[in-house]
Amino acid sequence: MWPSTGMVQTQQRRPRVVIIGSGFGGLFAAKALKRADVDVVLVAKTNHHLFQPLLYQVATGILSEGSIAPATREILRRQSNAEVQLGEVVDIDVSNRTVTSWTPEGPRQTSFDSLIVAAGSRQSYFGNDRFAEHAPGLKSIDDALELRGRILSAFEFAEAEPHADRVEQWLTFVIVGAGATGVELAGQISELARYTLRRDFRRIDPARARIILVDAAPMILGTFDEQLAAKAMRRLLRLGVEVRLDTAVVDVDGNGLTVRGADGDTRRIQASTVIWAAGVAASALGRHLADQVGVDVDRAGRIPVEADCSLPGNADIFVVGDMMDSGLPGVAQVAMQSGTYAASVIAARAAGRPVPGPFRYRDKGSMATVSRFSAVASVGRVRISGFAAWLMWLFVHLQYLIGFKQRVTTLLHWLISFLGRGRAERVVTRQQVARWALDTEPHT
Amino acid sequence: MWPSTGMVQTQQRRPRVVIIGSGFGGLFAAKALKRADVDVVLVAKTNHHLFQPLLYQVATGILSEGSIAPATREILRRQSNAEVQLGEVVDIDVSNRTVTSWTPEGPRQTSFDSLIVAAGSRQSYFGNDRFAEHAPGLKSIDDALELRGRILSAFEFAEAEPHADRVEQWLTFVIVGAGATGVELAGQISELARYTLRRDFRRIDPARARIILVDAAPMILGTFDEQLAAKAMRRLLRLGVEVRLDTAVVDVDGNGLTVRGADGDTRRIQASTVIWAAGVAASALGRHLADQVGVDVDRAGRIPVEADCSLPGNADIFVVGDMMDSGLPGVAQVAMQSGTYAASVIAARAAGRPVPGPFRYRDKGSMATVSRFSAVASVGRVRISGFAAWLMWLFVHLQYLIGFKQRVTTLLHWLISFLGRGRAERVVTRQQVARWALDTEPHT
């Protein structure tokens, strides 16, 4: 019989650090503990780390899923003090210092000396969870493959459709939310329709597809400099994307959505493909922790933390990345830096060294690509757009991608898509076709 | 309103050739009609052509699905006389010359002047369809992704499992059927366990995984030369694969299978992963056609054809590839050559040229790779094995792969896997983990 994790614990002297999540926060925390005299247990509900900034490229057929999602245990294979467990954490017991995760073999309890909670965020429909069925989000590889199937099938179904109004509905793609993900998706779906698929069909003209980007805010890329956002906006319009600002989503169903514009009037948009890129909420573990220590989460489910990212009153429990209510944006850089920081505090304590000062976020800038050869970027006070920004985007993303294999396959797929306008990953599974066809009311 | 296919027909003068299937037979037939004065309609139930000989590499994480499955309409985009329809053919009316396919918008009827039926084959469980649930086959991209999820999850679940006997069950992989696919799968799962995953786990030793190859025949690779098969066998044994010949499968369930050996005794093998690579049967359209023309299909559902691959009594309806009962093996070369041949007959008739003589299959040889750098190949009377055969295997497969993008991504992934022992595509989706976990009885 194999010893359970709890039994091993009592025989060991080294403190155990449990990390929840294999995203940027969790992975960088684990790596930062490489030389610390601790045992690291990383518990994650997927077998892979996910390079989320490029997820939209899996959804639009540019990259294969493996290119942005290396196996977590492969990344940590040479780190002998780290162990990876596949499991979904269902309980954190703050007083007894245990984490319970659900594994295929039933629940599993792991005790910890220190804990780093980096469970990230999920899609939020702002209380309208019924939208989810018709407007999937883009947070996981599952989501990206689902969207790839929907987007590519929509053109197939349009080609098969005898009725002009239904053709138009199949060829209308609505993206809700004009942050970086929404803008990038809109740009890539437009390039797919206007260039990649241009000559592939006989009955429809894919270039006639309507790509509509909807946001309740008065401008796209709200977190960016106004001038940069305006440049990205012009680029989107040149790509034929329709941008509807000051526009709120009232309802979503199987045939499209209803929106309310700045004038207060509601309008109907018939669209078979609606993608939700509008909002995120912290993992439910945030509220679960907050309830135990008697603090409140914010509207997005994020939990207030101390200056050292620790849970109020619990110096050995850290909350990092998207889950912390710290006034910082939910971006990869914040997750990486806070994860690394929490690990450094734990490592210092384990070594009896003085702990570092409070967590300070170093903003390395932000960037978004609108289409091939065109991006916007702000680094410090520098604002760049166009081809130079795109080149910068390319190198920065290659640099942050985890894994040599991932870098070379990504670079090759980019050559294919950016030089040749092609998409190497156009597979729709039969399951996807069958399922979506079932969801679609046949024409009567 | 869009004209239905039938209405277009009445306004056209050019004969319409309908092709069913986007595999080797259908695709090569369509391409061979490029210069013919006909309209080609290719109806297929997937959006992609599938390079089936490399499907096992998708199942074992070597290749991404896009690498071996280019979109059919992309391949045919520049062929202006060809149109691709996504749909599953549910009826062929031989007397009225129509094909009915199921599309998301309901049934669709297409009339034809000539028809090429290239619907291929599916997995056959020899009447034991209940095996399918526990022993999936490998015939489609869906299958390959499902197997990739199962194979990689099995190691994850073994790592999470506290009971030694269950660990062993998770680490036992049984492949039923020792033809080329079975041999290649066994070899690749063994390489995955012994090399790729060697350092990735902390509680289990992946190299201890048992890979068992079962076949009712007295030898592996039955269609190959005996000496070559013996070489492949030695190579498999060196890789640690257990080969059980003269062994028939009696039953398969969620925890393994029961087999009967040459001695007549039944034995139990506890295994969480069972893969069926044992048999194929022609598409059900074979029997459907046979019933209409009053001939019998053979035990594998294949239909007898005339010397020119036409359906008895129907000179304009051709049956090619895996579906024809012609004494030829169900391999890619037969499908390509018979598809091309049927197209040449149709093209000759359309041009008023004399039709070519009866179909003659040119056997270009066969090959199988056992592991990296090691293959067996027979070309004419020449038998090659080892590294030379492997190099030949590599170049021949690259050459036959359809699409430039597919060739370069495949070559890159091969470099990663064959030089670096890595696997670039190790994603398991959450859906796969959740579904398989549900199928697995929790330990009590």
Spatial distance between the Cα atoms of B398 and B412, rounded to a whole number of angstroms: 11
Provide the shortest C-alpha distance from residue B30 to chain A (in Å).
Answer: 15
- Of B64, B87, B105, nearest to A64 by CB-CB distance is B64
Pairing of strands B98-103, B303-304: unpaired
Q: Which residue has the higher pLDDT, B364 or A105?
A: B364
Query: Across residues B40-50, what is the average pLDDT?
Result: 97
Provide the shortest C-alpha distance from residue B97 to chain A (in Å).
Answer: 21
Catalytic residue among B146, B168, B184, B191: B184
Residues ≥6 apart with Cβ < 8 Å to A64: A58, A409, A413, A424, A425, B64, B65, B66, B67, B409, B424, B425
Beta-ladder partners of B117: B20, B319
Residue A105, pLDDT above cutoff 80: no
* Residues in chain B closer than 8 A to A156 (CB atoms): 47, 86
Contact between A331 and A129 under an 8 Å Cβ cutoff? The reply is no
Total Cβ atoms within 10 A of residue A5: 21
Q: Do B74 and A1 touch (CB under 8 A)?
A: no
Residue of chain B with shortest Cα separation from A139:
B430
Query: Across residues A209-232, what is the average pLDDT?
Result: 95
Residues ≥6 apart with Cβ < 8 Å to B287: B297, B301, B303
Residue of chain B with shortest Cα separation from A107:
B442
3-state secondary structure of A151: helix
Catalytic residue among A168, A184, A191, A425: A184
- Of B69, B426, B443, nearest to A427 by CB-CB distance is B69
What single-letter DSSP state applies at residue A71? B
Write the pLDDT tens digit of every residue in A262-303.
899 999 999 999 999 998 999 999 999 999 999 999 999 999
Q: Do A163 and B74 touch (CB under 8 A)?
A: no
* Residues in chain B closer than 8 A to A152 (CB atoms): 47, 71
Query: Burial code of A24-54, b = ≥16 C-beta within 10 A, e = fewer?
Result: bbbbbbbbbbeebebbbbbbbbbbbbbbbbb
* Residues in chain B closer than 8 A to A203 (CB atoms): 2, 83
Q: Do A108 and B160 touch (CB under 8 A)?
A: yes
Residue B131, pLDDT score: 95
What is the spatial order of strands in the sheet that B310-311 belongs to?
Answer: B82-86, B39-44, B16-20, B114-117, B314-319, B310-311
Q: Which domains does chain B have, with CATH numbers?
A: 13-45+87-123+281-351 (3.50.50.60), 129-278+372-439 (3.50.50.100)
Residue of chain A with shortest Cα separation from B70:
A426
Query: Across residues B172-184, what is the average pLDDT?
Result: 97
Q: Do B427 and A66 touch (CB under 8 A)?
A: yes
Residue A442, pLDDT score: 43
Spatial distance between the Cα atoms of A269 and A261, rounded to a whole number of angstroms: 12
Provide the shortest C-alpha distance from residue A117 to chain B (in Å).
Answer: 20
Picking from B429, B439, B441, B444 by the largest number of A CB atoms within 10 A of its own CB, the best residue to mutate is B429
Residue A57, pLDDT score: 97
Provide the shortest C-alpha distance from residue B404 to chain A (in Å).
Answer: 10
Residue of chain B with shortest Cα separation from A83:
B202
Q: Do B70 and A420 touch (CB under 8 A)?
A: no
- Of A141, A161, A427, nearest to B48 by CB-CB distance is A427
- Of B61, B105, B202, nearest to A161 by CB-CB distance is B105
Provide the shortest C-alpha distance from residue B417 to chain A (in Å).
Answer: 10
Query: Across residues B202-224, what is the average pLDDT?
Result: 96
* Residues in chain B closer than 8 A to A145 (CB atoms): 429
Q: Do A64 and B425 touch (CB under 8 A)?
A: yes
Place of tokens 């398969």: B252
Nearest 5 degrees, angle CA B84-CA B85-CA B89? 130
Place of tokens 């005996």: B226
Write the pLDDT tens digit of every residue in A16-58.
999 999 999 999 999 999 999 999 999 999 999 999 999 999 9
Spatial distance between the Cα atoms of B141 and A145, rounded to a whole number of angstroms: 13
Known catalytic residue at A161? no
Picking from A153, A416, A427, A430 by the largest number of B CB atoms within 10 A of its own CB, the best residue to mutate is A427
Q: Do B74 and A409 touch (CB under 8 A)?
A: no
Write the pLDDT tens digit of every residue in B244-263.
999 999 999 999 999 999 89
A-B CB pairs within 8 A amount to 209
3-state secondary structure of A233: helix
- Of B85, B164, B442, nearest to A2 by CB-CB distance is B164
Q: Do B69 and A103 touch (CB under 8 A)?
A: no
Spatial distance between the Cα atoms of A62 and B66, rounded to a whole number of angstroms: 10
Q: Do B104 and A200 touch (CB under 8 A)?
A: no
Residue A435, pLDDT score: 74
Across all residues in chain A, what is the average pLDDT?
Answer: 93
3-state secondary structure of B82: strand
Provide the shortest C-alpha distance from residue B360 to chain A (in Å).
Answer: 34
* Residues in chain B closer than 8 A to A70 (CB atoms): 426
Residue of chain A with shortest Cα separation from B41:
A202
Residue A11, pLDDT score: 52
Residue B48, pLDDT above cutoff 90: yes
* Residues in chain A closer than 8 A to B71 (CB atoms): 152, 200, 426
Residue of chain A with shortest Cα separation from B428:
A47
* Residues in chain A closer than 8 A to B200 (CB atoms): 71, 73-74, 77
Residue of chain A with shortest Cα separation from B161:
A105
Residue B40 phi/psi, 5° resolution? -110, 130
Provide the shortest C-alpha distance from residue B222 to chain A (in Å).
Answer: 32
Residue B436, pLDDT score: 67
* Residues in chain B closer than 8 A to A67 (CB atoms): 64, 424
* Residues in chain B closer than 8 A to A164 (CB atoms): 1-2
Across all residues in chain B, what is the average pLDDT?
Answer: 93
Query: Across residues A417-430, what is the average pLDDT?
Result: 92
- Of A48, A156, A443, nearest to B47 by CB-CB distance is A156
* Residues in chain A closer than 8 A to B425 (CB atoms): 64-66
Total Cβ atoms within 10 A of residue B234: 12
Residue B31, pLDDT above cutoff 80: yes
Place of tokens 């599953």: B88
Pairing of strands B303-304, B324-325: parallel
Contact between A177 and A357 under an 8 Å Cβ cutoff? The reply is no
* Residues in chain A closer than 8 A to B78 (CB atoms): 199
Q: How many CA atoms lie within 13 A of A300 on its CB side?
A: 20
Write the pLDDT tens digit of every residue in A331-361.
999 999 999 999 999 999 999 999 999 999 9
Spatial distance between the Cα atoms of B337 and B379, rounded to a whole number of angstroms: 17
Write the pLDDT tens digit of every residue in B392-429.
999 999 999 998 999 999 999 999 999 988 999 999 99
ipTM of the complex: 0.93
Write the pLDDT tens digit of every residue in A143-153.
999 999 999 99
Tokens linked to B21? 């299937």
Residue B65, pLDDT above cutoff 50: yes
Write the pLDDT tens digit of every residue in A49-89.
999 999 999 999 999 999 999 999 999 999 999 999 999 99
Dihedral angle of Cα A94, A95, A98, A99, to the nearest 10 degrees: -20
Provide the shortest C-alpha distance from residue A403 to chain B (in Å).
Answer: 10
Q: Give the rounded distance of the alpha carbon of A427 from its chain centre.
A: 22
Spatial distance between the Cα atoms of B233 and B245, rounded to a whole number of angstroms: 11
Provide the shortest C-alpha distance from residue B210 to chain A (in Å).
Answer: 19
